[in-house]
Structure 1
């Protein structure tokens, strides 16, 4: 990776080789309060967004599923139930604190047998080519430094006929912008300070959403990575979008 290049970390410009370390610090900090903060930040609506991912994925018995940036395992939990004993679910996360929280939670729920846990960088996935039937990544793509490399790596790991589903914050309808900015930059950091004792990490999360590609741009990036029939669904007026692409 070339020295001297920069990338964004929220609204800051940082050396490209430092971003992954800074993102790691954020998620080490928020891991212990991650689920609670998700419920508070979205008023529980994140569960409906993830349910939409699950239903649209069409995951069924015997499939292999990779849940990238899987965090505390919301998606992996349901996928493990759907693929059954003949299937496999891999919960992968680059952050060791988040991965450990996910493993602990799912083991406590009795989800064992068809679940594996892998600490992995999405830009260089350590899996065979043409291996997974489905790959999902929920609220993780915006934190990846080289998004194009990650999308290409996901494409390589999918079987022909497989699908990638990307759930991510996106660009909301224009009439929502002012209220959304007040919530993101005023309320959210204060909520993070009150609940998690960490305003800066939640300020970064708000900033990272603004730097993430909008709906059309991300669809174009997915097509450039090789995906066909790319489409997206705006949820809650575009605050979140679910992108889908196929490998043929």
Structure 2
């Protein structure tokens, strides 16, 4: 039952080229950066990544992206990652854009064994009608577009409206970052890091977690466990230096009134 590994390198060593990954994090919060860098160092390529966003330039999933290791991304936000936008518009990477709440529910559904669900989000838009660019050609034309999705009317919440069928997401591997974990794989996430991390951990058929602190089984109160160990297969304990690698995405300042 002891799921700890000596290093991130050992923990990701058997992730093959072409694997699909569900990766926790939102912006720069809760990103499993040490596991990502271990994948980068071992040369894993042709990855399909499911995450809220694809990191930023030079950090997080942006490091794998810049190295040309990612072939497809399912995300809700391209954001301010210039390299991500460049590769998408240049036809170097496929991108399936998904509404943020829908993406979260697709991951959760995959983790609990629900194959698909209906949601009002995106019904009657390009999300349901199809035609959203997934891959561009070198000349800027659309080489691959999204297919239409099934729509169905439901009488719910006091009115009848159309709902779009969304399919669950299940990936080969889940990569997550937690504040505390025990040797059985039970995890607790810290504040905003409890974003897509539990969902990514649930969606992976095989999940690896990096944790800031390791405790013995029984130390975590059951009410403090955000992701049960049944979903987690390997635990990597970070060094203080690795835990402290938490950059700020944007720094803004304003004049003080008394200046």
On whether the aligned pair clears a TM of 0.5, the verdict is no
TM-score normalised by the chain length of structure 1: 0.37
Higher helix share: 1
Identify the structure with the greater strand proportion. 2
Between Structure 1 and Structure 2, whose CA radius of gyration is higher? 2
Q: Higher RCO, 1 or 2 (CA under 8 Å, sep at least 6)?
A: 2
Normalised TM-score (structure 2)? 0.36
